Structure 1
Amino acid sequence: MSIKDKVAIVGMGCSKFGERWDCGISDLIIESAYEAFEDAHVKPEDIQAVFFSEGNQPNGGTGATPVADTLKLSGIPMMRNESFCTSGHVALIQAAMAIASGEYDVVMAIGVEKLKDTGYGGLGVGRGWNPVYEARRTGPGSFAMIASRYFAKYGLSPEEGKRLIAKIAVKNHHNGMLSPKAHFHKELTVDDVMKAPIIAYPLGLFDCCGNSDGSACAILTRADMAAKYTDKPIYIKGYGMAVDSTLSQSRPNFEWTGFDALKDSSRQAYKMAGITNPREQIDLAEVHDCFTCTEMIIYEDFGFSQPGHAAEDIESGFFERDGGLPVNVDGGLKCFGHPVGASGIRMTYEIFKQLQGRVDNPARQIKDCKIGLSHTFGGSPQVSAVLIAGNELG
């Protein structure tokens, strides 16, 4: 069953991202939830179900009680998921399905993460999940292999390849400078990226996203009820999610230049949304740029660029703010930040505000956008989730 145009997002909120030593998880939840309540003109008691995402719950086993305790909600279903970096998107998809099923009229999807207090370094060190398939690598180490293999396959020298992905970091930091809630506000040059300390060759410090604290929230309702809550509802056009059954890199003939989960999740979303030419039909996208090379392969796996031709589009500025398909116009994970459980909802927050024409800095507004895509990618990596939204019915 397609849920295209059956569900609307009528309010969203997002905390300031960054090293939030000034607050705890409850403070972050309040920041995003009450912005969403105000945006949708609802009260906490109007919420009929909550779908909660937190990717690195430090104490374990507490379910969705951080939301219940903070917002003083009780007597309603509240479900938590932990799906690596896609957790926020999973919460949104669960919320949309709950509305489309007819069981609920108004639900909340909310994600939060307080990585800085845990001392989490983001490197993924330690023993892997499967002692047969995996001797544990670091996150940067895994994605560095993607970059190196891509350069070799498509005839780029290490210097040429490194300079190419540096332009993605420069783009995203420039966009993040215009985003008041972004973690980092620092312009970069290609030389800055090239000269930065190496984390896992060829990825340097500025090729890697930072660890952040943050929260984001969405209020969803039936499309036919949306006008009750806002004059500018945003309709869910399609979604897709794919999880590879085994560690991708352990499969025969795995080439490190693309992922089945990326291709499958985007195709599912395109089919539901009626997208046949994503390069032309999507007006802006927020994609999972945990590392600069990740954004580059997503261009190709999502059909934004032809295989092996992302370099041409990067060089031409196709994915910049004034290009044919602006990508990560708020700075992306690279600059806005990546509190794991909140990221998928935060990326959708940007799409929501852009499609409404109500971004927090008019200088960031993309003109005449009608269809937007948000995306997260996580695991080993082996799980990908996509959501497509639009500001018109039909």
Structure 2
Amino acid sequence: MPISNQVAVVGTGVTRFGELYDRSYLSLLHEAATAAADDAGVEVGALEAAWLGTAEPQLGALVGDSAAAVTEALGFAPRPVTRVANFCATGMEAVRAAALAVAAGEYEVVLAVGAEKMRDLAPRESLVAKAVEQSHPVIAKGRTAPGQFALVASRYLHTYGYGRDVLAAVAVKNHQHATNNPKAHYRTPLTVEQVLSAPMAAEPLGLLDCTPTTDGAAAVVLASRRWAERNARQWVLIQGIGVGSYAGYYPALFRRDNDFLGFAATRAAAASAYRQAGITDPRAQLDLVECHDCFTITEIVNTEDLGLFASGTGGAELLAGTTTLGGELPVNVSGGLQSCGHPVGATGVRMVAEVTDQILGRAGSRQVRGARRGLAHNLGGPGAVAAVTVLGAA
């Protein structure tokens, strides 16, 4: 595979995630990008091109509607800049586009940055309003993100005989992990009782089964392996990166082949990334996973779709401690979307940065001991698209 082990992550930068009313979109983008460049040991002026992931520019007065935001924030002119958007897989799509350009030999060292400003609007003016006012006039009415994923949760619990306590276990685990992440939106531990007694959002998903609305930015500097070997202080290799799709935003819930027990897009993206990375047994060959947990049920079914656990056993493995820091295969040691929050364009880049820092042994108190290979995964829309990146030690 032409991309496998030929593109390196040589620098990472992540802002604090949270309700950042005092920060602008451009200031967050600037902070993440310059931090990644500093980590790579290069000047921003040495970066040859940039890709920007922003999914919802209408939430921030259209700042981020074009990658010219990178030019403005960093003084990047006249170098090429490109904005990408792919639902919640937007951030990882930016990394993928940048990596492919390096693998193709077009550039030696580039920037991938994701940023989103989601908290400057009241809830009734944000994504909730967009879904009501701008989407399909018939099939979208009453349709919300919690409602869509609640269908998966109901189906999974019914089919495999779990109770709501298995959903609560995801929130408890990830909030506990986040106590070790100073950049997470929420760093307060939760109990199962708190999760189960929280107000209901869309049965069986309560408020604490849902990811918060968050501001933030994340960036990585990518380089050719040749450049990294000559210039980088430390680096991690992209061993595989894949994207899969299933259906459009509306049809995904109406397809006859949708069993509501997982996401075909994730399975396709994983198959592509695993093929490139030479992975045949992901549970045995991965040391940690950052996977999309926009709702608690999503982490459980994603661990199964990623081939970590057999269908229906993801909940049992979670309850057994397999995915907890210190367990056999830690999942979302950053705190995941549940605790870090989900500034859509930034999330996938943050995940790649987290896995990179883990492999380099610089994740502090959340460090996975002996981490040499990890996976980052995004799911977009109601299972419409997914992205998977496998990273390994040089």
Query: Considering the TM-score relative to the shorter chain, is it more than 0.5?
Result: yes
Q: Which amino acid aligns with 2:27?
A: D
Which shifted more, 378-387 or 182-191? 378-387
Per-residue deviation at 1:245? Answer: 3.5
1:146 aligned residue (148, 152, 155) = 152
Task: State the SS of the aligned residue for 1:279.
Answer: helix
The count of corresponding residues between Structure 1 and Structure 2 is 386
1:190 aligned residue (182, 192, 196) = 192
**CA distance in 1: counterparts of 2:138 and 2:281, whole angstroms:** 40
Q: Which amino acid aligns with 2:111?
A: M
* Residue number in structure 2 paired with 1:252: 256
**CA distance in 2: counterparts of 1:131 and 1:223, whole angstroms:** 50
Which shifted more, 378-387 or 273-282? 378-387
Q: Which amino acid aligns with 2:38?
A: E
Residues 122 and 211 in structure 1, CA contact (< 8 A), matched pair in contact too: no
* Residue number in structure 2 paired with 1:102: 105
Give the fraction of aligned pairs with identical amino acids, expressed as a percent.
39
**CA distance in 2: counterparts of 1:62 and 1:133, whole angstroms:** 27
**CA distance in 2: counterparts of 1:366 and 1:309, whole angstroms:** 23
* Residue number in structure 2 paired with 1:117: 120
Per-residue deviation at 1:337? Answer: 1.2
Residues 290 and 376 in structure 2, CA contact (< 8 A), matched pair in contact too: yes
Task: State the SS of the aligned residue for 2:120.
Answer: helix
Per-residue deviation at 1:44? Answer: 1.4
- 5+ long unaligned stretches in structure 2: none
**Aligned-residue RMSD, C-alpha:** 1.6
Pair 1:355 & 2:359 matched: yes
Q: Which amino acid aligns with 1:213?
A: D
**CA distance in 2: counterparts of 1:210 and 1:8, whole angstroms:** 31
**CA distance in 2: counterparts of 1:380 and 1:101, whole angstroms:** 32
**CA distance in 2: counterparts of 1:93 and 1:104, whole angstroms:** 14
Pair 1:372 & 2:374 matched: yes
Task: State the SS of the aligned residue for 1:13.
Answer: strand
* Residue number in structure 2 paired with 1:265: 269
Q: Which amino acid aligns with 1:248?
A: A
Per-residue deviation at 1:131? Answer: 5.5
* Residue number in structure 1 paired with 2:39: 39
* Residue number in structure 1 paired with 2:311: 307
Per-residue deviation at 1:244? Answer: 1.8
Residue deviations 1:343-392 (CA, integer Å, cap 9, x gap) = 00001111011000012xx2211111111100111123301001110013
Which shifted more, 345-354 or 378-387? 378-387
Residues 95 and 112 in structure 2, CA contact (< 8 A), matched pair in contact too: yes
1:179 aligned residue (178, 181, 192) = 181
Residue deviations 1:45-73 (CA, integer Å, cap 9, x gap) = 10111101101002448411211111011
Per-residue deviation at 1:93? Answer: 0.3
Residue deviations 1:201-240 (CA, integer Å, cap 9, x gap) = 1111110000110000111111111034433210000011
Task: State the SS of the aligned residue for 1:84.
Answer: coil
Per-residue deviation at 1:126? Answer: 1.1
1:240 aligned residue (236, 239, 242) = 242
Q: Which amino acid aligns with 1:115?
A: M
Residues 86 and 384 in structure 1, CA contact (< 8 A), matched pair in contact too: yes
Residues 132 and 140 in structure 2, CA contact (< 8 A), matched pair in contact too: no
Which shifted more, 26-35 or 182-191? 26-35
**CA distance in 1: counterparts of 2:192 and 2:310, whole angstroms:** 24
Which shifted more, 125-134 or 319-328? 125-134
Runs of 4+ residues over 4 Å off in structure 1:
120-124, 127-136
* Residue number in structure 2 paired with 1:66: 69
Per-residue deviation at 1:155? Answer: 2.5
Task: State the SS of the aligned residue for 2:101.
Answer: helix
Residue deviations 1:182-210 (CA, integer Å, cap 9, x gap) = 11111001111011111111111110000
Q: Which amino acid aligns with 1:170?
A: V
Residues 248 and 259 in structure 1, CA contact (< 8 A), matched pair in contact too: no
* Residue number in structure 1 paired with 2:12: 12
Please give the TM-score of this superposition, normalised by the length of structure 1: 0.94
Where does 1:315-394 land on structure 2 (aligned, <5 Å)? 315-359=319-363, 362-392=364-394
Task: State the SS of the aligned residue for 2:273.
Answer: helix
**CA distance in 1: counterparts of 2:53 and 2:338, whole angstroms:** 20
Residue deviations 1:162-184 (CA, integer Å, cap 9, x gap) = 10110110000000011001111
* Residue number in structure 2 paired with 1:217: 219
Residue deviations 1:106-132 (CA, integer Å, cap 9, x gap) = 110001000001335554641674567
Residue deviations 1:222-265 (CA, integer Å, cap 9, x gap) = 11110344332100000110122342221114211111101111
**CA distance in 1: counterparts of 2:224 and 2:312, whole angstroms:** 41
**CA distance in 1: counterparts of 2:174 and 2:208, whole angstroms:** 11
**CA distance in 1: counterparts of 2:9 and 2:358, whole angstroms:** 13
Residues 15 and 216 in structure 2, CA contact (< 8 A), matched pair in contact too: yes
Residues 131 and 140 in structure 2, CA contact (< 8 A), matched pair in contact too: no
Q: Which amino acid aligns with 1:140?
A: P
Where does 1:280-299 land on structure 2 (aligned, <5 Å)? 280-299=284-303
2:79 aligned residue (76, 79, 83) = 76
Residue deviations 1:17-57 (CA, integer Å, cap 9, x gap) = 00011110121012111111110011111011110110100
Which shifted more, 225-234 or 126-135? 126-135
Residues 54 and 65 in structure 2, CA contact (< 8 A), matched pair in contact too: no
Please give the TM-score of this superposition, normalised by the length of structure 2: 0.94
Task: State the SS of the aligned residue for 2:89.
Answer: helix
